[in-house]
Amino acid sequence: MTGGDPITELCRQIEAAVKQPMRTPKDFTYLRNLIFARLHEIVGESTLKRIWGYIKEDVQTRRGTLDILARYLGYADYEAFERSSGAADDGVAPSSPLEARSIDVRRDIAVGEHIRLTWLPGRECDVVYRGDFRFEVEASVNTRLVAGSTFVCALIIDGEPLFLDAVTIPGAKAQMQYVCGKKSGVHYDRLDINETCDPDM
């Protein structure tokens, strides 16, 4: 990844946001999963590798792909990112909207840790991390994610919608996808092991 063009800066900001350089195939798999977890958009690993220059191919990146990467950082689209990036005349990159309070599941949470998720109107869900990006619901209020439900999640950003994959709900016939806080976003708190929400509230 060389040069000072906007795409290079986009890559740099994404690496800063995920706190990891893109150097190995596993890194691109990880980034693909983060993008899907946050936006429910699929960007192929080979596409990411081309954008980062890991694969040397003379293929122009689709604008739609750049829009997805910009939205991952919190911008409306790639054009908005370019405007923001170009506004920094002092050589200092602007801050990214993604630089918010967040949990990167791969590195920021331990197996057995408890998290409370809350979103409007009056939704509350206590979950425990079981490892391999998998969570189990222990208690909930006003949500379909009842105790015993499980889901996969790679990234939790405070105040943003939370996209859950491979959701299993007791009694349901098949796995599903689920979005928490689609309009107002989800907030989270790390819990003491003795704290749980009261489903009878």
What is the spatial distance between Cα 193 and Cα 195, in angstroms, rounded to a whole number? 6
Region 173-199: mean pLDDT is 79
CA 158 centroid distance within chain: 10
- The answer on pLDDT for 52 being more than 90 is yes
**121: Cα separation from own chain's centroid:** 22
Q: Are 193 and 138 in contact (CB under 8 A)?
A: no
Mean pLDDT, to the nearest integer, of 78-104?
63
C-alpha distances in Å from residue 48, one per residue of 30, 72, 92: 11, 13, 25
pLDDT average, residue stretch 89-109: 64
Q: State the pTM of this model.
A: 0.56
Distances (CA, A) of 28 to 9, 18, 20, 51, 119: 17, 11, 10, 11, 31
- 1-34 per-position pLDDT tens digit: 434 588 998 998 898 888 889 999 889 988 988 8
